[in-house]
Structure 1
Amino acid sequence: MYELFILGELMTGEKHGYMLQDVLKNSVGLGRKISSGTLYPLLSRMTDAGWIHLRVEEETKGGRTRKIYEITNAGAERFVELMASPFDSNWDIETQYTFRFKMVYFQYVTQELRIECLNQYLQLLVKSLKTVSDFEFYLQTNKPEPEKQRVQLLRVFDHRKRLAETEMQWVKEEIERVQAQED
C-alpha cells in the first residue's frame, strides 16, 4: 500500500521525504500515521530497486541537506503494476486504504484499468455484505445468548450493511461515470 502511495505521489512530481510523510498522514486520516522509521527505509529500498531516484540538495536555511525523490521509468512501470494488482481477498482497512489510493491516482492509468479496479472493489463489497448478511441470519435464526449482546450485534450488522449498500451504490455510479468518459 505504501509503495503505491509513494509512486503515485511521485507521478505528480518530485517530492522530499517530509512532504511524502505529510501528504500520507493527511490522506489516511487521524487514526494512522507512517513513521520516519517506516518511510525512509521504504524509500531506500525503492531507490535500490530503481523505482525512484534520490537527489540530495543543500537546504539554505539551517544548512541541512534535503533529499528529493523522483520516479524513474521503472518506477512508473511498477506503479502501473500496483494499480493493476488485485485487491487482497480479505476485506479489511488495508483494502479500503489501497482502494482510496488507487482512486486518487486513476488519472495515471487507462480507463480499462480504472473500471477493472472499481469492479474488483465492488466484488469485495458484495462478498463482505454477504458475509454480514449470513451471520445476521444466523443470529436471527438461532438466537444465541446473551440476548442483549445478540440484539446489539444485530444493530452493528445493520450499520455495516447500510454502509456497504451505500458504498456499493457509489461504486456502481462511479463505474458508469468512468465508462462514459472519453479516455
Structure 2
Amino acid sequence: MSGAQIPNGDGEAEGRMTEGRMIGWNDTVRFRLPPNWAAEVEEHEGQPVATFRPPPPAGGTLRLVTDRVTPKPDSGGVAGTLQEMALRFVRPHDQRAGDRTVEARPDGGVIAQAMMRTDEEGRAETHYLWLIGADRDGVAAVAMFSVALPAILDGDESCAAMLGDIDDAIRAARIL
C-alpha cells in the first residue's frame, strides 16, 4: 500500500468544505473528508481500497480506488484515454445505471458521475459513483469514488446532506 495515507487534517482547504481532514490516497488524489468520518483500508481482489463511513445518523460507505493508465498508441493520447475511461465508467448500456454525466474539469481533466440501483445478496442498494481524472506526466491518473447506501436510506435527509458534502469534496479533489 505504498502511497496510501489517511492523515489527520493538515493541508489547505479545497472547495466549500473547510473543516474535516485531508486525505491522500496512493499518491494519486487528495481531498477533504467531512469531519468525524471513520477511515480504514480494505482489500478487494488484492488491491487496497480506502473506506470511509459517516457518523450516525447518516448511513452508507464511501470507497475509493485509484489507477494510472498509460495511453495506447492509437487511443488519442491521455485526453482520449480519460474520455474512454469516463464513458465506460458511467456504464451507458447498463439498465441499472442512471443520472449519467461526463464533464470537463477546470484543470483540463474529466469528471464522470452515475447512480446505480443494485441488489447485493438480497440487499437493495443505491450506488453513487464518481470518476475524476487528469493528465499527469503523460499518464491518465484517475480516482474512482463510490457511495453505497441501503436503498431504504436513499432520499433520507441526513443521507442527502452527506451526499452533497461528498459531491463537493470530490469535485474539489486534486489529482496528484
With normalisation by structure 2, the TM-score equals 0.24
- Which structure has greater strand proportion? 2
Larger Rg: 1
Q: Which has the higher contact order (CA 8 A, sep 6+)?
A: 2
With normalisation by structure 1, the TM-score equals 0.24
- Which structure has greater helix proportion? 1
